[in-house]
Amino acid sequence: MAEQLYFEDVQEGTEVTPLAKNATTQQLVRWAGASGDFYQIHYDKDFALGNNLPGLIIHGALKSAWLGQLVGDWAGNEGIIKSYGCSYRGMDIPNDALTCKGVVTKKHVEGNEHIVECDIWLENSKGEKTTPGTAVVVLPSKS
């Protein structure tokens, strides 16, 4: 695991350590099983095509879970995720090299909480931000 990140280590503009993802169709099925989301557009190609989709698409909430992993990995296990969320603006497909990314937009102290706000997103192999969002974390402080 990466070393613990501290409040003092980040500034506005600091990059969130990127996280690469590339889903196989098997991963979509595994996730369907783990989450209970069995909507067929994620594993039945004929069904997806019949729903005017280009083919199988990745579950929105799986992309959200990856963004949660991005933020959790970066904030470290001494950091706390206060909130995060994203919008599914563009569809993502299996077997595409995706990257979860983020950048710090603000840092401030409230009471004894050292709060860092970020923009986060998932981008596809063409560099399109399909899944933009935001996150707020509390980091430990060295002081």
Structure-token pair, residue 5: 């990140």
**Is residue 66 part of the contact set for another protein (CB under 8 A)?**
yes
Q: Tell me whether residue 77 or residue 141 sits nearer to another protein (CB atom).
A: 77
Stretch that binds another protein, among 7-15, 25-33, 92-100, 105-113 (CB under 8 A): 25-33
First-to-final CA distance of the chain: 23
Residue 84 in contact with residue 67, Cβ under 8 Å?
yes
Site for another protein in 101-140 (CB under 8 A): 133
- Between the alpha carbon of residue 95 and those of residues 13, 28, 61, the distances in Å are 30, 11, 17
Dihedral of the alpha carbons of 34, 69, 100, 107, in degrees to the nearest 10: 150
Q: Tell me whether residue 11 or residue 46 sits nearer to another protein (CB atom).
A: 46
Stretch that binds another protein, among 6-14, 66-74, 105-113, 114-122 (CB under 8 A): 66-74
Q: What is the contact surface with another protein in residues (CB under 8 A)?
A: 1, 21, 27, 30-31, 33-39, 51-52, 59-62, 64-69, 71-73, 77-78, 80-88, 133
